[in-house]
Structure 1
Amino acid sequence: MEKKQSLHAHIKSELLARIKNGTYQKGEKIPTELELCKNFDVSRTTVRAALNQLTLEGYLERTQGRGTFVADKKVHQTLSQTVKRYVDQVEVQGKTAEIILIDLSVIPASETIQLALGVPPNDPIQKIERVRKANHSPTQYEISYIPWSTAPGITKEQAETSLYNALKQDFHVAIAKTTEHIELTLSDESTSYYLDSEIGLPCFYIETVAEDQEGNKVEYSQSYFRGDKTNFVIERLYPEDAEV
């Protein structure tokens, strides 16, 4: 290490490697700050900076008066082409999945919704607010907008299972394409309330527009994912003759 200011990054990297290779198991208490200072021969400030970053990123959990523990593994979700429901993606990771309906109402289309879905002004839109959980801990807060004309009268039961499955099975609307825009954001007062997090937590923000087989826009959604509890997997398929 050539630069003193890179010490905390080195320590963070080493601790993260120990977490990922199983040296430190989920729920295990890691060495104290003092022990880590002696282990790495650095100051307490340097160790604390590394621990704070790992905590912010969701790899560690710090409990007042008890110490620092290895957090549960993050929920993996697929952004590639997939037909797996959220419940299926979570349960295959050994976690219990839940979808909680917060609000189901009909609202007039705002300018943002008009642009996203291509509907007339004040067109009736079903607004569906949900929280997704893994092992009873919130990982995602989502607001979906579906035109009434696309699927009139969506129910609580449909919203708490799979909207896309309900659209296909109950309203004969098959999703053929989604376009997703992803960026980083910080949780505000409302988002942090539903995600059960502190205000300012780094989150993934994804806007999605779904289309049916005829190219009609049938859903627009805004989703916030806890950055400390979620990561994404992207798979790309390349034809043999592709130039990359």
Structure 2
Amino acid sequence: MARGIDRSSPLPFYYQLKQLVLTDLRDRQLAAGDRLPGDHELCATYDVSRTVVRQALAELETEGVIQRVKGRGTFVAPERTSEHLVQSLTGLYEDVAARGDQLRSVVRRLEVAPADEQIAGLLELPVGARTIVLERLRLVDDEPWVLATTYLPYDVAPGLLDDDLTQHSLYALLEQKYGVELTHGRRRVEAEVASDTLAGLLGISPGAAVLVLRSTSYAGERPVEVFVAYHRGDRSRFEVTLKRTPPAESRPPLMHVTGQASV
């Protein structure tokens, strides 16, 4: 960090400091996990207040550039991986494999259970109908990444209880072994904070941000899979490709009404 704060610049000190840190990361080619100067060192180096330092680092942390660990210091944050699970009917296995990373699963639960009211409604089954429940802790390159629970009608894949789901894609099994042709789905993403139990499984701090992906997949008109997946907020981001549709030429013009309405 050879440059300093330009005190004659109209740019706020915190913004200048933020740019200096970014330049330092680039010039020194720092990698994820490398330690950065602490608050006191930055204050002394650039002769700025701790408020300035905190604001600059807070923005960098929000943007996913750095990671501040209480009692340990400030580090370069691991790069968040873009996932396209909200814009195409793929599974995490396929998405991770396409990036060249390795995914394995720890199967925490695989059993037949009666559908409660919520799951029965989503799968369009009677309440109490037999479903296969699959809970997996998904690890990318051996780091906990996602905790996912999947529900399927039992008749869709009755042999699934005997399949190896630690290394294989569920979607590939459904399509290749059970002849289930997935055609479309509906997914939504929500933000939550990690409970103590979830944080322990994902290796994050209680209260840390998680991205929750909820999905229903269909084979034709029949819903055949429902899942809820908790993704680490510090490792994942979802990207969606948008396309603007030109306004329809046949759309009627806006009407301007004057006068007083009577009732």
Structure 1 partner of 2:195: 188
Count of paired positions = 239
1:230 has 2:230 as partner = no
1:129 has 2:135 as partner = yes
| Residues 94, 68 of structure 1: alpha-carbon distance in 2 compared, 3 angstrom cutoff | farther
Q: In structure 2, what is the Cα distance between the partners aligned to 1:77 and 1:182?
A: 12
Structure 2 partner of 1:171: 178
Aligned-residue offset at 1:178: 1.1
Query: Which secondary structure state, in structure 2, belongs to the residue aligned with residue 157 of structure 1?
Result: coil
1:98 has 2:98 as partner = no
Q: In structure 2, what is the Cα distance between the partners aligned to 1:32 and 1:192?
A: 26
Structure 1 partner of 2:77: 71
After superposition, what is the alpha-carbon deviation per residue over 1:166-192, rounded to whole angstroms, capped at 9, x for unaligned? 111111111111101111111112321
Q: In structure 1, what is the Cα distance between the partners aligned to 2:168 and 2:14?
A: 44
| Residues 206, 85 of structure 1: alpha-carbon distance in 2 compared, 3 angstrom cutoff | closer
Query: Which secondary structure state, in structure 2, belongs to the residue aligned with residue 90 of structure 1?
Result: helix
Q: In structure 2, what is the Cα distance between the partners aligned to 1:18 and 1:91?
A: 33
| Residues 219, 94 of structure 1: alpha-carbon distance in 2 compared, 3 angstrom cutoff | closer
Q: In structure 2, what is the Cα distance between the partners aligned to 1:3 and 1:53?
A: 15
Which amino acid letter does the alignment assign opposite residue 108 of structure 2?
A: I
Larger Rg, first or second structure (1 or 2)? 2
Aligned-residue offset at 1:24: 3.8
Which amino acid letter does the alignment assign opposite residue 186 of structure 1?
A: V
* Partners of 1:104 and 1:156 within 8 A in 2: no
2:153 to 147, 151, 157: 147
The TM-score with structure 2 as length reference comes to 0.76
Structure 2 partner of 1:43: 49
Which amino acid letter does the alignment assign opposite residue 208 of structure 2?
A: L
Aligned-residue offset at 1:31: 2.4
Aligned-residue offset at 1:149: 1.5
* Partners of 1:144 and 1:221 within 8 A in 2: yes
Structure 1 partner of 2:125: 119
| Residues 91, 209 of structure 1: alpha-carbon distance in 2 compared, 3 angstrom cutoff | closer
Query: Which secondary structure state, in structure 1, belongs to the residue aligned with residue 174 of structure 2?
Result: helix
After superposition, what is the alpha-carbon deviation per residue over 1:102-137, rounded to whole angstroms, capped at 9, x for unaligned? 111111100110111110010011111111222221
Which amino acid letter does the alignment assign opposite residue 141 of structure 1?
A: L
Query: Which secondary structure state, in structure 2, belongs to the residue aligned with residue 166 of structure 1?
Result: helix
Query: Which secondary structure state, in structure 1, belongs to the residue aligned with residue 197 of structure 2?
Result: helix
* Partners of 2:83 and 2:95 within 8 A in 1: yes
* Partners of 1:12 and 1:54 within 8 A in 2: yes
Structure 2 partner of 1:25: 31
Q: In structure 1, what is the Cα distance between the partners aligned to 2:153 and 2:96?
A: 29
Q: What percentage of residue pairs aligned between the two structures are identical?
A: 27
The TM-score with structure 1 as length reference comes to 0.81
Query: Which secondary structure state, in structure 2, belongs to the residue aligned with residue 149 of structure 1?
Result: helix
1:205 to 183, 203, 212: 212
Aligned-residue offset at 1:45: 4.0
| Residues 148, 88 of structure 1: alpha-carbon distance in 2 compared, 3 angstrom cutoff | closer
* Partners of 1:58 and 1:228 within 8 A in 2: yes
Question: Any unmatched runs of 5+ in structure 2?
Answer: 1-8, 249-263
* Partners of 1:111 and 1:121 within 8 A in 2: yes
Structure 1 partner of 2:40: 34
Structure 1 partner of 2:225: 219
| Residues 138, 67 of structure 1: alpha-carbon distance in 2 compared, 3 angstrom cutoff | same
